[in-house]
Amino acid sequence: MEPFTIASLSLQLLPVVLKALPAVIGAFAQALGVTRSGDPVRLGDKALQAEAAGIVPEKYADFAEYLRAVEDFPLEPDASLSFSEEEKSFRGALLCVQAIRERFPLQPVCELLNVYGRFPMLWSVKTVLVLAEFVLKEPEIVSDIVTYLGGGQMSDESIDRAVNVICAMLKADDPSLSDADADVKALRMRV
């Protein structure tokens, strides 16, 4: 995996994802156990203040070590005023995404998040908590979902796995949804 830089990662994610989903990305990262907190605004605030104090990824052996330094960085309330909520949220979401990518390097995490534009109904705190449960058991499900939603070639078994996860996500967001209706919605998502 290429070294972490804000610029390289932000080019891989659609801007709408980082603006619309920071809380969802934070919850996903925390549920996967890659960050301590699910609050990307606070994490981003710490990262921006830490950067001003000279704590940058290039000074660390790996991203996990850098992330620990950021998470441990003490916030200064006055320094927080130097950054907008959008800047804090953006930076925190990027760090959460990179933490997920580091934990699951073989999975297309950015591509998964980028499907938000076509399938916003899949992205809420409730749905990503369900998704995280599946990813922790079987990380390959990320590739299955991305391939399924993109209309790529898949085995019947991979299609079933992707549909099962998508149905569980849809039902987490709408518990009144029947199994049959969830199946229909999931099948209609295939390009």
pLDDT confidence of residue 15:
73
pLDDT band at 17 (very low <50, low <70, confident <90, very high): confident
- Determine the residue type at 183: D
At 76 the three-state DSSP class reads coil
Coil/strand/helix, residue 83: coil
CB contact at 8 A, 41 and 75: no
Q: What span, in angstroms and rounded, lies between the C-alpha atoms of 153 and 133?
A: 25
Are the C-beta atoms of 113 and 156 separated by less than 8 Å? no
Burial of residue 181 (number of CB atoms within 10 Å: 0-12, 13-18, 19+): middle
* pLDDT at site 114: 86
User: What's the gap between Cα 72 and its chain centre?
Assistant: 21
pLDDT at site 19: 79
pLDDT band at 140 (very low <50, low <70, confident <90, very high): very high
Which tens digit of pLDDT belongs to each residue from 97-117?
999 999 999 899 989 988 887
Q: Which two tokens stand for residue 106?
A: 């073989």
Residue 40: phi and psi, rounded to 5, are -70, -25
Distance CA 180, CA 72 (A): 47
pLDDT at 16: 74
The pLDDT of residue 7 is: 61
- Residue 2 pLDDT exceeds 70: no
Buried b (16+ CB within 10 A) or exposed e, 120-156: eebbbbbbbbbbbebbeeeeebbbbbbbbbeeeebee
The runs of H, that is alpha helices, within 53-84 are 63-72, 77-80
Q: Who wins on pLDDT, 181 or 119?
A: 181
Q: Domain coordinates of the chain in residue numbers? A: 1-106, 118-191
- pLDDT for 85-98, tens place per residue? 999 999 999 999 99
With H, G, I as helix, E, B as strand and everything else as coil, classify residue 188: helix
- Tell me what pLDDT residue 11 has: 65
Task: Indicate the Cα dihedral angle 37, 126, 25, 42, nearest 10°.
Answer: -30
Q: DSSP label at 118?
A: T
Compute how many other C-beta atoms are within 10 angstroms of the C-beta atom of residue 171.
19
